[in-house]
Every structure is written in structure tokens, then in C-alpha cells.
């Protein structure tokens, strides 16, 4: 069996940046065991399988109104193409104030003695949002040395499954134009640091929209690979998160 496969770097237009994912085009159904084996072989954080709903469907045909629906462990994920961006349609998750005492050891493991300006929790996603002081520059977040493995022993509440570090953007300087920056860690799911995270921005979008009074924002995730996300809050309680893509590999899986 030959299965066309692509490696795509998302939220960037530069190869070897952004979030790498594998995309497989299926002519026929595969069993769950084959899906898992292919994903393990690709060895990336995400492997997407796109299947034709009808025999006459054409993978190569472009339709600006077409929407792809992915079934994930977190529910359905819809994606569509708008010009040179892929737009993800995600739910918008609210955050609520979090008492420092409950997660103080985790915060210490993450940022040491750095000043924390705000602390929020998203019960729907079990993500803890830590906003660093506005006095810090983007470079401070980028250069922060984090041992995410230590988070596992430092988190004693059992309710945190993802840690977001975030910082307000600068209106001047080399990196002006971004409304906010972030990094994301989820060692509870085996991800020490995710390069660029759409689901984390479903939380960040809600928080920073409230803080900045904006529904349209530009964000940058400051991982080693880095990635840029265009955010648009909708009136139906959802958020569109868009990014460019770079295809870095094309080939066929044979088995």
C-alpha cells in the first residue's frame, strides 16, 4: 500500500520553524493499529489522516469554501484555507483567578524568582496561565531555562495538565507588532515543550482579549522553533487561529 505523506511546519512560512506535523492522504480506511504505527513511525507530536468522504473526491482540487474536520482526543477540530493561511476553528476557553498558594511550588519550578503579574486557571483545559511582569522583554521569556520534568513533582494539586507562560507584547523595539508572547509545557502528557500550540491559544485568546480590549490579535510563541498566530475572536464563543505553513517533505509511506 502506498500512502502519500507530507511533513508540514505550521504557523510559519519558513522550513524547520513552527510546529511540525505529518499529514497522510488516505484513499481507503485504515484500522486503528495502522494509524498508531504510522504515527509512531513519523515520530512527531501530531499526525493527521485525511480520508475521502466520497470516492469521487479529489485531494488536489482547491475549494476556498471547503472545511476539513479532524477527529481528535480533544473533540472535533475544523480547519480551512484562507489565502496563504490555514485557519483553525477552536472553542474559546475562559480563565479564572488562581490562588498562588495552591501552585506556588510549580510556579517556582517554572520561573524561579521572576515577578508574576497574574495567575489564571482554565478548568475546561486544565491549563495554568502564568503572566510574567510587563517589565520583562520578550528575550527574557525566550532565554528562560526550564526543566519541565521538575513540573511533575512540583504540581501537587493534580489539576494542572498544561503550563502556559505568557508576556504582554511590546509596542516598540525589534519585535513590535505582537500583542503577546507565550511558551507552553505539558510534561503530564509527555510534551516537555510544544513548539507552537493552537489549543493553548484558545485559552490565551480569551485572557488577552479581556486584558487588551481587542478581538483581533497577533501572537508569537517563543519556543526554540517559534511560530506566529493570527487570532480573531468570534461572536459565537469560538476563536479562529490562523497561521502560514511550509511543506518540507513529500513522499509515500509503503507497507
Q: Catalytic residue at 46? A: yes
Catalytic annotation, pick one of 27, 32, 41, 46: 46
Q: What's the grid cell of residue 246?
A: 511550509
CB 88 within 8 Å of CB 198: yes
b/e 97-132 (16+ beta carbons within 10 angstroms → b)? ebeeebbebbbebbbeebebeebbbbeebebbbbbb
CA–CA separation, 235 and 237 (whole Å)? 6
Q: How far apart are the first and last CA of the chain?
A: 5
CA–CA separation, 242 and 228 (whole Å)? 9
143 CB-near residues (< 8 Å, 6+ apart): none
CA–CA separation, 10 and 186 (whole Å)? 19
Q: How far is CA 56 from CA 28, 52, 53, in A?
A: 12, 8, 9
CA–CA separation, 194 and 100 (whole Å)? 24
Question: Which positions are annotated as active-site residues?
Answer: 46
Amino acid at each position: 500500500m502506498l500512502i502519500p505523506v507530507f511533513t508540514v511546519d505550521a504557523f510559519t512560512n519558513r522550513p524547520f520553524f513552527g510546529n511540525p506535523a505529518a499529514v497522510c492522504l488516505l484513499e481507503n480506511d485504515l484500522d486503528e493499529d495502522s494509524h498508531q504505527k504510522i504515527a509512531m513511525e513519523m515520530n512527531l507530536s501530531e499526525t493527521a489522516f485525511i480520508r475521502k468522504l466520497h470516492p469521487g473526491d479529489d485531494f488536489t482540487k482547491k475549494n476556498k469554501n471547503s472545511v476539513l474536520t479532524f477527529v481528535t482526543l480533544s473533540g472535533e477540530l475544523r480547519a480551512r484555507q484562507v489565502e496563504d493561511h490555514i485557519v483553525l476553528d477552536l472553542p474559546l476557553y475562559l480563565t479564572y483567578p488562581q490562588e498562588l498558594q495552591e501552585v506556588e511550588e510549580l510556579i517556582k519550578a517554572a520561573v524561579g524568582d521572576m515577578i508574576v503579574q497574574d495567575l489564571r486557571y482554565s478548568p475546561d483545559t486544565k491549563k495554568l496561565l502564568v503572566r510574567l511582569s510587563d517589565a520583562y522583554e520578550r528575550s527574557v521569556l525566550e532565554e528562560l531555562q526550564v526543566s519541565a520534568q521538575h513540573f511533575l513533582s512540583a504540581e501537587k494539586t493534580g489539576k494542572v495538565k498544561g503550563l502556559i507562560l505568557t508576556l504582554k507584547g511590546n509596542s516598540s523595539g525589534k519585535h513590535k507588532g505582537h500583542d503577546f508572547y507565550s511558551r507552553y509545557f505539558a510534561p503530564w502528557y509527555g510534551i516537555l515543550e510544544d513548539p507552537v500550540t493552537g489549543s493553548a491559544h484558545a485559552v490565551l485568546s480569551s485572557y488577552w482579549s479581556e486584558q487588551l480590549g481587542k478581538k483581533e490579535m497577533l501572537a508569537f510563541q517563543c519556543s526554540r522553533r517559534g511560530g506566529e498566530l493570527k487570532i480573531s475572536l468570534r461572536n459565537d464563543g469560538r476563536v479562529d487561529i490562523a497561521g502560514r505553513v511550509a511543506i518540507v517533505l513529500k513522499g509515500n509511506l509503503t507497507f
